[in-house]
Structure 1
Amino acid sequence: MSVKTPAPPSNPSSPRTADAPAPRARGRRPDFTPLWLLTPAGLVIVLVTIAPIVYLVYTSFTDYNQRTLFTGEFTYAGLENYTNLLSSSDFWKSLLRTVLFTAALVIGSMLIGMGVSHLLTRVNLFWRYTTTVVLITAWAMPNVASTLVWNWLFQPGYGVVNWILAQLRIFGDTTDLNWADDPTLAYLAIWMLVVWQAVPFIALTLNAAEQQVPPEYQEAARLDGASEFTVYRMITLQFLRPTLLLVTILSVIWDYNVFNQIWLFSAGGPGDSTSTLGVFTYKTAFVGFQVGEGAAISVITTAILLGLTALYIRSLLKSGEDL
């Protein structure tokens, strides 16, 4: 007669329980599914972004010109294009105009955007929603279409702006005033257009951040006798600093690349007085057909923007660490 040996009782104090996960199998093959899912996006980035940049850098070291467009022949020019650019006064003047105009655009759009953002916190719900819809509509309008409308508004002879100024009788008869023929007026009109396009994004972004400011800090400052301007400067702006920094860097990058508005309104004129770096690049590459030299300007511009992008990423990571 066989005797069955009873199974040993389970030890409840054993470190492994029924709910414990099974040990990981040794030699398990890595899962490449995420990489396969990212492959289509990676291919698009390579074809649309990386490959054109590589070809741009390569072209900047050649004498690619109008002859090349018909014959396909070009030769290696080395650093000749970069040497010509760095010794060209037109390049440095366009770079200076770009920096100054970018600074004016960023300062104007940031100040107006901050004002609109704070205004949205002071109005009732109806006006807040109405203003938000108007801002989004203005922001969604393509800049080419809005620039064409801007040209009609400032047209000499039948432009609405000239007609309004003529009716006010402050600046005399402005009916036939051509804004694009005067550098100051051309810059002013383009500045108003770009700021009008940039304010919606800045205002809505800052307003979203301003809604997160703890109200108890503001109430405590008011109880201590602080004015509304002091509350905004000492309390609100302190909480908005990370968002302000990121929006400012983004605005610098966007305004540095302004081209459509300038080209469609004044084509860089009169003369070259409104020819920023983007317009100077276009004229060099596609008007003068010095494609290699235009590519060199684009490489320099890309390097500057990469530096600004590095600042943006660094600020983004720093703001994430401060949260």
Structure 2
Amino acid sequence: MSTSTERPAPRTGTEGTPPRPRKRRQLAPAILLTPAGLVMIAVTVLPIILLVGISFTDFNQRSLFTGTYSGVGVEQYTRVFTDPDFWLSLLRTILFTAAMVIGSVVIGMAVAALMTRLGPPMRYVVTVVLICAWAMPNVASSIVWTWLFQPGYGVLNWLLTRLMVFGDMTATNWAQDPLLSAASIWALIVWQAVPFIALTLYAAQIQIPIEYYEAARLDGASEWTIYRGITLVFLKPTLLLITILSIIWDFNVFNQIWLISRGGPDSATTTLGVFTYQTAFVGFDLGGGAAISVISTVILLGLTAVYIRNLIRSGEDL
């Protein structure tokens, strides 16, 4: 009589395949993310560490050639915080950022609302125009912008002269007037920011159920009441995130200001980014410039923390 010993069948996962070891499953995401993580460390973390280190030294133009420098502790930060030009540049940055964010968000909201009322052909045309404006490099657009405002042959000066609203503006040099220079920079940055804001808000607005609008119109609500009571309520999370992102982007604006006015006239458009560049690469006080950059980074980290916090909250509300 033969006896057979029955062996228990091996544990299998789904579809009869043996389950993968848990440890291997946990290592797989880390292995896949390692290349991107190394790149982020190389281009972000290491430069920040170097920047912080330089901010505690007297690194200057001589140090670039000799490699010699000395540690000065918090002296660079003390100089920065006691420099009235730093506080003036910070104030200009806050005012510039507020003006640019308000302008770009308001105009972007208007364009998004307009797109919802256009027919498909015209809406496609507006979308293509917005994408083309958004895709244009800011250096190239800044150079073209200076041509538009050039005295003597600038197209905008010629157009304003033809309209006869402000008199003869043919020879007006916008870059040499504090108010006009700030206005031209504001218009350029808002023009570059509106496409992203408008397209994002339009994508969010078309997700609002149409039944809400139909019920409000049946109740006799005006279009402004409908927009304020329905559209803005649904767009609130998107508007909040766009506003925070715009603050972070506009706080860092440098190329447009430097290419148009170089911070002038009389430092009227010298924001924190321009002041940092002038300190580090015009005055060759690299230690002082690094200290200002660290301060700017801390401010932006605070804004980024607010952005991430609201991003998490908006995800929880969905």
TM-score, normalised on structure 1? 0.92
Amino acid at match of 1:30: R
Matched, 1:133 2:128: yes
Aligned Cα RMSD in Å? 2.1
Superposed, 1:1-323 pairs within 5 Å as 2=1, 29-31=23-25, 32-323=27-318
Amino acid at match of 1:196: W
Name the larger-Rg structure: 1
SS of residue matched to 2:117: coil
Q: Which runs of 5+ in 1 are unaligned?
A: 9-15
Amino acid at match of 1:202: I
Moved over 6 A (4+): 4-8, 16-25
Report the CA distance between 1:38 and its aligned residue.
1.6
SS of residue matched to 1:212: coil
Q: Pick closer, same or farther for the CA change 1:18–1:246 going to 2, 3 Å.
A: closer
Report the CA distance between 1:40 and its aligned residue.
1.2
Report the CA distance between 1:215 and its aligned residue.
0.7
Report the CA distance between 1:34 and its aligned residue.
2.6
Q: Distance in 2 between matches of 1:104 and 1:186?
A: 14
Q: Distance in 1 between matches of 2:260 and 2:15?
A: 70
Deviations 1:216-259 (A, max 9, x none): 11111111110011100000110000000000000000000111
Q: Which runs of 5+ in 2 are unaligned?
A: none
Q: Pick closer, same or farther for the CA change 1:17–1:246 going to 2, 3 Å.
A: closer
Q: Distance in 1 between matches of 2:62 and 2:13?
A: 78
Percent identity between matched residues is: 65
Give aligned pairs, total.
313
Q: Pick closer, same or farther for the CA change 1:125–1:282 going to 2, 3 Å.
A: same
Report the CA distance between 1:287 and its aligned residue.
0.2
Report the CA distance between 1:35 and its aligned residue.
2.1
CA contact (8 A) 2:263 2:269 kept: yes
Report the CA distance between 1:271 and its aligned residue.
1.4
TM-score, normalised on structure 2? 0.94
Deviations 1:180-219 (A, max 9, x none): 1111000100000000000000000000000100111111
Q: Distance in 1 between matches of 2:132 and 2:168?
A: 34
Q: Distance in 1 between matches of 2:108 and 2:23?
A: 53
